Amino acid sequence: MEFTNPFTPILQEIRELKKEVVELRNRIPVEKSIRRYSIQELEENTPLSGQTIRAAIKDGRIHAEQFGRKYLITAEEFDRVCVEAKSIKYQRQ
């Protein structure tokens, strides 16, 4: 009497699914940075106040994504604002 492992077909399917997941993962372009910064983190790293940052976001001088009541700033935008902080602070609209 020969016994076969009942899990063999399941394991084979899992291996196939793993291969498909890897293939799909390779097709998806990787975003440069998925790190997002809050207004408070930007405030701590620049001479800008929270109020100035919020006003700049509303004016469009700082690009941010809104999630509920919070604004999150991408890593690229965070770096740009850190470099241009003084010009953003004194920029007139």
Q: Is residue 1 part of a domain?
A: no
Per-residue pLDDT at 89: 62
59 belongs to a structural domain: yes
| 55 assigned to some structural domain | yes
Residue span of the structural domain in which 70 resides: 36-90
Is 26 a member of any domain? no
In a domain, 84, yes or no: yes
pLDDT at 6: 83
The pLDDT value given to residue 71: 94
- 78-87: long-range pairs with CB below 8 Å, 24+: 78/37, 78/41, 78/42, 78/45, 81/42, 81/46, 81/48, 82/42, 82/45, 82/46, 85/46, 85/47, 85/48, 86/47
Given a cut of 70, whether residue 2 has pLDDT beyond it is: yes
pLDDT at 70: 93
Residue 18 belongs to a domain: no
- Domains held by the chain: number: 1
The predicted-structure confidence for 26-84, as pLDDT tens digits, reads as follows 877 665 557 899 999 999 988 889 999 999 999 999 999 998 999 999 988 998 888 88
Does a structural domain hold residue 17?
Answer: no
